[in-house]
Structure 1
Amino acid sequence: MSEIPETQYYRQENFQVEGGTLPIAVTAYRTHGDPSNPCIVFPTCYGGRLDSQYYFVGEGKVLDTKKYFVVTFALFSNGESSSPSNTPAPHNGPYFPQISYADNIRAQHAVITKVLGISKSDFRWEDSRRNSTVRKEGVLVERYGKLIRKWGSFLEGPKAALVSARDYQFGHYLKNPEVGLRAFGRGGKYRSLEAFMRAEWESGFLNWDANDLLTLMHTWYSGDISKVNHQGDLESALKSIQVKGQSQPEDNEYEVSILPNSRFVVIDSVWGHVAGGGADKGDLAFMEEQITKFLEEEL
C-alpha cells in the first residue's frame, strides 16, 4: 500500500448550515495521486473516517491512484471535519447546529474548485439549491443513497437507545456515554450472535463521540432529495438527475428504475446493509469488478 497522505483542513468563516452558522467550518480531506489525472471524489459514509476508505483507494485498487486523482472527504460531524466534539463553545456538544448533505456538498465543492483548482471531476454532486455540478457528464458510483422514507424507523431505534441512556445526560456528558453507545451499536465470523454484537457493533461505536453520531444521524435522516425543489415528489427529483450511475443496495432498485442513466447491480451477500464495505473479501471483489468495469466504460 502506498503511503497515506497527510490530512488537510479547509476553513470557511461564517459558514451557513441547516441549523444556523458555524463561525469557522473545517473540512478535513486527503488527496491521492497525480492532480493531472481524472478526479474522483470519495466522501466518508455514516460511521466512517478518512482511514476507513482505503479498501477502495490505492495503487491497483478500484480507485487506482496511478490512474485517478482521488480526493477523500470527511463528512461534517465525523470527528475530523467540524463536529460537536471538536468545535469550541458556544457551538460545541449538543449546541452544534444540524448539518445537511447540501452543507457538506457546498464545503467539498469549495475545496475542489477553490483549493485544488479542479474544474472537471468524475463524481457529480446534486447541489440541492441549484443542481450545480463540477462536470455535467460526470459519473456516480452509489452505495449509500437509500430512500430515507424506508430508513426512518431504523434510525429512530438506535437514536432512542442512545439519548435515553442514563449516562447520555441530554448531551452534556463529561465522559463518553458508554452505556448509551453500547445500546446504540446493537441496532459471521464469530461463534455466536452475542460475540458478534460485542466485537463488531458495540466496540465499533465506543470510539465515537455520542453527539457526533447523533448529528451525523440527522444528516442521514434528512437526506431526501425530493424535499428540495421537488415538493416531495421523489420520481420528479430522480428523473432530473442526468448523471450516469451504478447502484448496489437493494433499497435502490426503485430509484434506479426511475433514474434515466443508471443501472442496478445486486451484491449476493449475507452481510446485508454492510455488504461491500470491506468486511467480506467476496463482496469486496464483486464490488471491485463491477465498479472497475463501470469506470472503464464511462471515463
Structure 2
Amino acid sequence: MSAPASSGDRHFPLGPFSFQCGHTLPDAQLSYRVYGTLNPQRSNLVLYPSSYGAWPEDIEWVVGPILDPARWCVVLVSQFGNGRSSSPSNSAMGLAEDGWVIHHSDNLRAQQQLIHGLFQVERLALVYGWSMGAQQAYHWGALAPAAVERLLCLCGTAHTTPHNRLFLLSLRQALTADPAWDGRRFRTSPEQGLRSFALIYASWAASQAYYKEGRHLLQGIASVEEAVERSWLPAYRRHDPHDLIAMLDTWLANALPAPLSGIRARTTVLAGSHDLYFPPDDCAAEADQIPGARFAVIDSVLGHRAGNPRDAPAEQAFIRSALERLCDD
C-alpha cells in the first residue's frame, strides 16, 4: 500500500518562541503535513516527529503500510533545525558557537502549540517516532504524560549514551574540519567535510552484516565507495550544513529531564538487532523503566534503518504487528 496524498507542506506560526538555551525567535514556525481525517471525537490524532535529516517525503511512506490513514489522522511534523521548520538556514537561529542549542523540550512545546492550536486536541492517540523521532516521543510521554495515550518508540533512546555521543562528535568534527568552516559559520559548501560525514554515516547506519551480504550493491553499484557517493552523500549534501550541525547538537543534548517511570502512556519499544546507534541492550534498559512497556527486537541486518524499513516488507510487517497490538489491547 502506498502513502496517500498528504496536505503538502504547511506552516504553523508559533509567534515569538523562547528556546531553552535562552534565545528567542520572533517568528518561529513548524512545518507539517497531514494524512487522513480527524474523527468527530478528536480521538485518532497521531503525531510523527521527524528523524535526523529527514524531510516529510523521506518518511511519509509509513502512512499506509504501517499507519492506516483510514483509521488515523497522521501529523508528520518537522523538528526544529531540519530546514523545513525554523532552522539556521531559514531564520535568525544560530549554532552552539553562538549559544544556540535546540532541545527536544523545545520541539515538544512547539508541537503542543500546533496540536492545540490547529486541531484543538488535548490527548494524542499515539506518538510514533523513529530515531530522533523516538527521542521526541519519549519527551512527550515523560513531560506531558496526560497528553498522550500510546507511544511507539523505534530504534531510539531517551538519553544519548556516551558511545552514541562519540559517533555524533565524529560527524560534527568531519564537517567543521573542512576549510569552509571559519569557527562559527561555513563560508562555502564544505564538500570534503560532507564526504567525510557521509562515510561515517554509512559505516554506522547500516550494519556489518548488511555490507557482508552485499545489500549495498544495488542498481549497478559496485563498491562501498560508490554506494557512499551515490546513495549517502546526496542525502546530506541537499541540506544546508548549518542545519546538519543544529540537528547534531540537538541529538548531543538529548537527555530527558524527567524519569521514564513517569510515563503513563501504553508504550512499545522496538530495537533493531544490528543497530549500532541504539543497541538492543540500551533500548531494553530504558523500556524496563517504563511501567508496563513492551520491548521487542526487530531481527534485521538493516541496522538502524530497521526502524524505517521503506523497502523491507518483513520489517514493515513486524512493526505493523507491534503497532496493532499496542492499539488494539
Deviates more, 1:279-288 or 1:264-273: 279-288
SS in 2 for 1:185: helix
Give the match for residue 40 of structure 1: 46
Task: Tell me the distance in 2 between the aligned counterparts of 1:96 and 1:28.
Answer: 24
* From 148, 157, 160, the counterpart of 1:148: 160
Give the match for residue 308 of structure 2: 277
In structure 2, the gaps of 5 or more residues are 128-136, 201-214, 272-279
Give the match for residue 108 of structure 1: 111
TM-score (norm 1): 0.86
Deviation at 1:30, TM superposition (A): 1.2
One-letter amino acid of the counterpart of residue 80, structure 1: R
Deviation at 1:296, TM superposition (A): 3.6
* From 37, 49, 63, the counterpart of 2:55: 49
Give the match for residue 268 of structure 1: 299
Deviation at 1:120, TM superposition (A): 2.6
Give the match for residue 219 of structure 1: 250
Task: Tell me the distance in 2 between the aligned counterparts of 1:178 and 1:171.
Answer: 17
SS in 2 for 1:71: strand
Contact 2:61 2:310 in 1 (8 A): no
Identity of aligned residues (%): 25
Residues 158-177 of structure 1 aligned to structure 2 (within 5 Å): 158-177=171-190
Contact 1:143 1:247 in 2 (8 A): yes
One-letter amino acid of the counterpart of residue 247, structure 1: V
Give the match for residue 284 of structure 2: 253
Task: Tell me the distance in 1 between the aligned counterparts of 2:44 and 2:125.
Answer: 7
Give the match for residue 207 of structure 2: none
SS in 2 for 1:202: helix
Task: Tell me the distance in 2 between the aligned counterparts of 1:155 and 1:77.
Answer: 16
SS in 1 for 2:147: coil
Task: Tell me the distance in 1 between the aligned counterparts of 2:87 and 2:197.
Answer: 19
Deviation at 1:201, TM superposition (A): 2.2
Deviates more, 1:178-187 or 1:195-204: 195-204
Residues 7-18 of structure 1 aligned to structure 2 (within 5 Å): 7-18=9-20
Give the match for residue 210 of structure 1: 241
Contact 1:84 1:95 in 2 (8 A): no
Deviation at 1:35, TM superposition (A): 1.1
Task: Tell me the distance in 2 between the aligned counterparts of 1:166 and 1:217.
Answer: 20
One-letter amino acid of the counterpart of residue 29, structure 2: V
Contact 2:145 2:263 in 1 (8 A): no
Number of residue pairs the alignment of both structures matches: 284
Give the match for residue 261 of structure 2: 239
Give the match for residue 178 of structure 1: 191
Deviation at 1:168, TM superposition (A): 2.8
Task: Tell me the distance in 1 between the aligned counterparts of 2:314 and 2:74.
Answer: 22
SS in 1 for 2:199: coil
Query: Quick one: higher RCO (CA 8 Å, sep 6+), 1 or 2?
Result: 2
Deviation at 1:285, TM superposition (A): 2.4
SS in 1 for 2:143: coil
Task: Tell me the distance in 2 between the aligned counterparts of 1:209 and 1:292.
Answer: 34
Deviation at 1:133, TM superposition (A): 4.2
Deviation at 1:210, TM superposition (A): 0.8
Task: Tell me the distance in 1 between the aligned counterparts of 2:6 and 2:117.
Answer: 23
Deviation at 1:294, TM superposition (A): 2.6
Task: Tell me the distance in 2 between the aligned counterparts of 1:57 and 1:185.
Answer: 28
Change (3 A) 1:257 1:134: closer
The CA RMSD over aligned residues, in Å, is 2.4
Deviation at 1:264, TM superposition (A): 1.2
* From 147, 151, 160, the counterpart of 1:135: 147
Task: Tell me the distance in 1 between the aligned counterparts of 2:196 and 2:50.
Answer: 23
SS in 1 for 2:29: strand
Task: Tell me the distance in 2 between the aligned counterparts of 1:116 and 1:194.
Answer: 47
Change (3 A) 1:77 1:283: farther
One-letter amino acid of the counterpart of residue 286, structure 1: A
Give the match for residue 30 of structure 2: 27
Change (3 A) 1:296 1:238: closer
Give the match for residue 233 of structure 1: none
Deviation at 1:162, TM superposition (A): 0.7
Task: Tell me the distance in 1 between the aligned counterparts of 2:38 and 2:243.
Answer: 32
Task: Tell me the distance in 1 between the aligned counterparts of 2:86 and 2:99.
Answer: 9
Deviates more, 1:91-100 or 1:65-74: 91-100
* From 60, 82, 86, the counterpart of 1:82: 86
Give the match for residue 130 of structure 2: none
